[in-house]
Structure 1
Amino acid sequence: LRAATGRVPAVLAGFVRTPAGRSGRGGDEADGLRRRLTGLDPAERERLLLELTRSQVAGLLGHASADAVAADQSFQELGFDSLAVVELRSRLGTATGLALPASLAFDFPTSRAVAGYLADALRPEDNDGTHAVTEVLDQLDAALAAVAQGAADPARITARLEAVLRRWQDTRTTEPAGPEQDFEAVTDDELFEALDRELGL
């Protein structure tokens, strides 16, 4: 139907999976959540959103604590019905300020899956590429930490890291570099004379 007309009939619109957009809903609650997310790394952002999702699911099911909801337990196993699906979407929409798809709980059937979706939808704007680079650096940091002692070639890894850093620093240099001085070929008298000139002695 969409291919034929370019639009989805209104009666089916609620069942079509669409990307989340900013809805303007939520007010202070959504603004507060975004402030809490600011400055967190990707893992911390997803952890916070997982806590939010589990809390909302627990509230829907009448549990006193999110501890009663396992992150990877499916909503079907938890006893969700159609009303719970609609209510979860509404609650999370209010909490995040996002216009969430009606199929949210079907497309992302666990709290962890929903949290991952929310993390992507609430990803900060990255007009200059900084966020993308820091995510890669986070992954690199984790990879280096996971390498067992003695199981890698530290000299090779260090050399590669230093080469990447040098290239980065070269691209950020605003002042042209002067000619390199071969200090090993300079005599003591020439070196002292150069220092005297530099210091105005």
Structure 2
Amino acid sequence: MITPEEGAYAFETLVRHDRAYSGYIPILGAPWLADLVRRSPWGEMFASTGQRSRGPSKFRMELLSLPQDEWAGRLRRLLVEQASVILRRTIDADRSFIEYGLDSLGMLEMRTHVETETGIRLTPKVIATNNTARALAQYLADTLAEEQAAAPAAS
């Protein structure tokens, strides 16, 4: 139940706008709102981000189990798959991401996914310099090889 003051304020706010449909629902302490968020795809997306585990991803572990000369090919497949999901069409590994219309938001989505899977930080400059799936995969493979070479020296 709302107080008369809340009702008057809500009424003034609703009649101030020229909308075909309007409504007022107090949301504080509303269990249905938490259920709606929990069951919606939007809510699932945010719930899954908090459940990421620390340490190497499954993809990175799979990659490290391959011979080093196969890393670039596997990374290229990851990049092509991710760009295809974002663009909703297949892409060629040798064409620029920009030619396909991958905008800054799409690049950010791809970058975040690739960083999560590989554990390698990518700057926008790196993606701009290596702007095809093949070039970026080679960059990632080289970076991973450098990390692996430096790892035994660090321990």
TM-score, structure 2 length as denominator? 0.56
Structure 2: gaps (5+ residues): 1-51
Residue by residue over 1:155-175, the C-alpha shift from the partner in whole angstroms, topping out at 9 and shown as x without a partner, is xxxxxxxxxxxxxxxxxxxxx
Q: Which residue of 2 aligns with 1:53?
A: 79
CA distance in 1, matches of 2:95, 2:79: 12
Quote how far apart the aligned CAs of 1:128 are.
10
Quote how far apart the aligned CAs of 1:127 are.
6.1
- 1:80 aligned to 102, 115, 123, which one? 102
CA distance in 1, matches of 2:66, 2:134: 18
Q: Indicate the structure (1 or 2) with the bigger Cα radius of gyration.
A: 1
Tell me if structure 2 keeps the 8 A contact 1:29–1:94: no
Structure 1: gaps (5+ residues): 1-25, 130-201
CA distance in 2, matches of 1:43, 1:97: 19
Tell me if structure 1 keeps the 8 A contact 2:79–2:114: yes
Q: 1:21-170 to 2 correspondence within 5 Å? A: 27=53, 30-63=56-89, 68-123=90-145, 125-126=148-149
TM-score, structure 1 length as denominator? 0.44
RMSD of aligned Cα (Å): 2.5
Tell me if structure 2 keeps the 8 A contact 1:46–1:115: yes
Structure number with the higher helix fraction is 2
Q: What count of residue pairs does the alignment treat as equivalent?
A: 100
State percent identity of aligned pairs. Answer: 32
Quote how far apart the aligned CAs of 1:99 are.
1.9
Q: Which residue of 2 aligns with 1:146?
A: none
